[in-house]
Chain A
Amino acid sequence: MPDVINADGTVRQDEWVVVPRPEDGESLDIPSDQPALIPADLWLAGYEHFTGNDRIGVWFDSHDEPEIIADKVNELPLIGVNFPRFVDGRGYSIARLLRERFGYQNELRAIGDVLLDQLQFMKRCGFDSYVLRADKDISQAAKCLNFFSQGYQAATDTDLPLFRRRAG
């Protein structure tokens, strides 16, 4: 079980598994004994089958478009966004769209090439859980989530940009 970091820096055990996109001709391999994140388009394709199952969530890859489930996001208990490489910043935009445009309320998790120094950006864009890449020191996560005590911009953690807070 990988450890999951919460937005407040605490760590918990977690049994969700990420089911990879099946190869051509193969079908989804959903475990029977664990809750699972499946590719979002496949969840939508099998919507009748998956809906109402709180042990099934979805994940987006960085090039995926979250718009496809815009009106259904809150039917999902957990959404993962994959960072295939930590320098691929598309996941930040996906997170903000899920939170701010589609009003997603449940858990939003960063998965993949998740490193310490990106955690605070992820938090500000709406991620509230993170699976750190296995070789990274999880004990430093809390510090890295809070390098900055505030930001100049509005983001999901504050809808008031600094120029409005300054106005008092």
Chain B
Amino acid sequence: MYVYDEHDRQMAAERVAQFRDQTRRALAGELSEEEFLPLRLQNGLYVQRHAPMLRICVPYGMLRSDQLRRLARITRDYDKGYAHFTTRQNVQLNWPALEDVPDILADLAEVEMHANQTSGNCIRNTTTDQFSGVQADEITDPRPYCEIIRQWSTFHPEFAFLPRKFKVAVNASEKTDRAAIRIHDIGLQIVRNDAGELGFRVHVGGGLGRTPMVGPVIREFLPELDLLTYLEAVLRVYNRYGRRDNKFKARIKILVKALTPEGFAEKVEAEWAHIKDSPTRLTPGAIERMKGFFTEPPYEALDNATDLLARQRFENRGFDQWLSHNLDVHKKPGYAIVTLTLKKTGTPPGDVTDQQLEQIADLADEFSFGEVRVTHHQNVVLADVRQDRLLELWEAVTPMGFGTANLNTLTDIICCPGGDYCALANAKSIPVAEAIQRRFEDLDYLYDLGNIDLNISGCMNACGHHHVGNIGVLGVDKKGEEFYQVSLGGSSHHDADIGKILGPSFAREDMPEVIAKIIDVYVDQRTEEEEFLDTYRRIGIKPFKERVYA
């Protein structure tokens, strides 16, 4: 994991001092609300339904146990004792007082954390696959590149006042995409070219919200040393030519569409030609140095604990289910990747209490070299667990509420905070998630249904990524009443696609039944091999429509 040096520490301290001064001027009336707005947003601070909301950055989802403990303390000292893991791998506090925020940022800086650029019209936190560095099939560990991008984008003087927010995601696996890169403003797929050289396939102009789009490829191969200069060229073209007259048309996807991907790529290439050999060009040494922070933890030479696990699974059905669903294959024999789902029925997806944060910290220290990762599915990953200790881990996490064996199933719902917390929301989303979870409580049935992404957003801003859910639910407001629109066929992976709207929206109380009917169609129509999305793609939306609106 990246460790601050004196430069990072100094800039973090200067950032806290700057925001303290800005907050003082805002409270003294020297800064108008309009003037303070982008400053506070770039320090993570929203003004929300109940109180300010503070979005704390978790670069590429990595957290150390001391950072988790500090977050726990902050939620106790300044908030109501819980936090929320977001679909951007960040952490949000829902009730801090404005005047406390500089102190919170100072407390965070002590453990090398911050809230820089977690909001506002600037380059946001760069995200990546939560299994980076531990999975067998990745081309290379994407995290050093994410940290390089983080540093380049932090306080970038040219790109702090872009037309709109700007999000970058990196993926390094050829088989899977857990970072949803094709729905980001820039999605970087790490690849090797025919000569074996490392580089990036560059997607630009994906995004959700009002005009959801899958990002087209604008460059098939970008050599790794050119990463920052090329990003700078993309951002400069966007900064100069992105629309600023209409907030809803200001994302880069609108510019890419207006110019066509080819036309946009030409503009970027023309800009890049001027700066590609500038001092911003990366050096092999700089990349090597960054890779030095993401080395392997002290793994022991182990064999896979196949026999032991077989015996333990035979003796304990709950453990068997958990292993079948919440475990992924680790690149090292004898180790496993474990996902702790924060999706226990009745708990808002992604919510954790201060005690749970400390429990996760303890689990990290005990089982996973003191580190965890946060996922954009709002779960937490222990990436380096010894296989012979999995039973012990499962027994520990079950009473904590993290043992729900529903990863990637219908009840592993991505869900924004919705109208319960968010001032932007048109409708509540948490109660819808809970009602669906209750309707599908039978685990065996869930497992039989296989992988299904169900995503819920409380408004068009699409924080719950509803457009790319295999089943997407969007809260809409009709004359002051909350309704829910359903879409089918979305995907955020390599086969990314935007879901199609099923038809007229539904009342909240009808939602579990609507989902059940959709699932019934799938169960009736599927072939043995098919996942939900496969069946949908084969039979189309019509049979679903007919059943749901019958």
Contacts and interface: CB of A to CB of B under 8 A. Distances in A.
Contacts of B239: 89-90, 92-93
Contacts, number: 111
A87 B121 contact: yes
A100 B280 CA distance: 13
Interface SS majority for chain B:
helix
A148 to B, nearest CB: 5
Most buried by B among A86, A125, A143, A147: A147
Contacts of B38: 87
A165 B11 CA distance: 15
B38 to A, nearest CB: 6
A163 interface: yes
Contact of B157 (A101, A153, A162): A153
Interface centre among A89, A137, A159 (most CB of B within 10 A): A89
Interface in A81-96: 86-90, 92-93, 96
Interface in A72-87: 86-87
Given A93-B158, A93-B239, A160-B279, A166 B7 contact: yes
B157 A151 contact: yes
Contacts of B17: 147
Contacts of B193: none
A148 B14 contact: yes
B48 interface: no
B39 interface: yes
Interface in B26-64: 30-31, 35, 38-39
A166 B3 CA distance: 14
A155 interface: yes
A159 B279 contact: yes
B166 to A, nearest CB: 11
Contacts of B18: 147-148
Interface residues of A, number: 38
B314 interface: no
16 contacts: A87-B121, A89-B158, A89-B161, A89-B162, A92-B161, A100-B278, A101-B274, A118-B161, A124-B157, A149-B11, A152-B11, A152-B156, A154-B278, A161-B228, A163-B283, A165-B7
Contact of A161 (B10, B31, B152): B152
Contacts of B501: none
Contacts of B154: 152
Nearest to B19: A147
A155 B157 contact: yes
B506 interface: no
Interface in B272-316: 274-275, 278-280, 282-283, 285-286, 289-290
Contacts of A51: none
Nearest to A160: B279
Contacts of A115: 35
A167 B282 CA distance: 12
B479 interface: no
Contacts of B148: 163
A162 B7 contact: yes
B116 to A, nearest CB: 11
Contacts of A88: 161, 244
A86 B121 CA distance: 12
Interface in B196-218: none
Contacts of A89: 121, 158-162, 239
A87 B245 CA distance: 12
A149 B14 contact: yes
Interface string A49-89: 00000000000000000000000000000000000001111
